[in-house]
Amino acid sequence: MHRILISSCLIGNPVRYDGRGQALRSEILDRWLAEGRVLAVCPELAGGLLVPRPAAEITQGAGGAKVLQGLAKVMDTDGRDVSAAFLAGARQALQLARQHGIRVAVLKQGSPSCGSGYIYDGTFTGVKTAGQGVTAALLESAGIKVFSEHQLAEADAMLSQS
């Protein structure tokens, strides 16, 4: 049975920067949980950040690949460079995925770690921009398909093929 990597906040764990979770209500997720397929990870906690923590965004909305290349930073609202924690958490998520032979992930859209289709533009003004978070970019570069919480049916289809 293939397992699936899922953002911890999506199964309701209170790991977000604001101390809350963001539980998904979904029959597909319920089935994955009942089947014991779900492996939850919060890359930001895995990287050593705390709950609650200041919000963070990638500078100029440059995207996770640029952070991985050292060409952009992740900054928080206190002006702290938290890139090292985001990179460490991304590497831990990838290591976990590899340990379990995971090919499919469902990660929280919009997050500077987990976003797969959009992130925020680095100005902390709520402006979205197309791009990936640091963990999503690292997983995809390693051949793991990353879906958002709005694409569970697609993720389910790929899981059943893998």
Q: How far apart are CB 114 and ligand SF4 at their closest, in Å? A: 4
**SS3 track for the chain:** CCCEEEEHHHHCCCCCCCCCCCCCCCHHHHHHHHCCCEEEECHHHHCCCCCCCCCEEEHHHCCHHHHHCCCCCEEECCCCECHHHHHHHHHHHHHHHHHCCCCEEEECCCCCCCCCCEEECCCCCCCEEECCCHHHHHHHHCCCEEEECCCHHHHHHHHHHC
Instruction: Please report whether residue 16 would count as binding ligand SF4 according to CB under 6 A.
Output: yes
Residues 79-138 within binding reach of ligand SF4 (CB under 6 A): 108, 111, 113-114
Query: Of 43, 63, 122, 131, which lies in the binding site for ligand SF4, with binding defined by CB under 6 A?
Result: 43
Select 68 or 114, whichever has its Cβ closest to ligand SF4. Answer: 114
| Residue from the set 4, 5, 15, 67 that interacts with ligand SF4 by CB under 6 A | 15
CB under 6 A: which stretch of 28-36, 40-48, 75-83, 139-147 binds ligand SF4? 40-48
- Complex with ligand SF4: residue 49 or 161, whichever CB lies closer: 49
Contact 85, 48 (CB under 8 A): yes
Contact letters for ligand SF4, residues 45-84 (x by CB under 6 A): ----------------------------------------
Q: Which of 3, 5, 8, 119 touches ligand SF4 (CB under 6 A)?
A: 8
Q: Which is nearer to ligand SF4, 122 or 160 (CB)?
A: 122
* Footprint of ligand SF4 (CB under 6 A): 7-9, 15-16, 42-44, 108, 111, 113-114
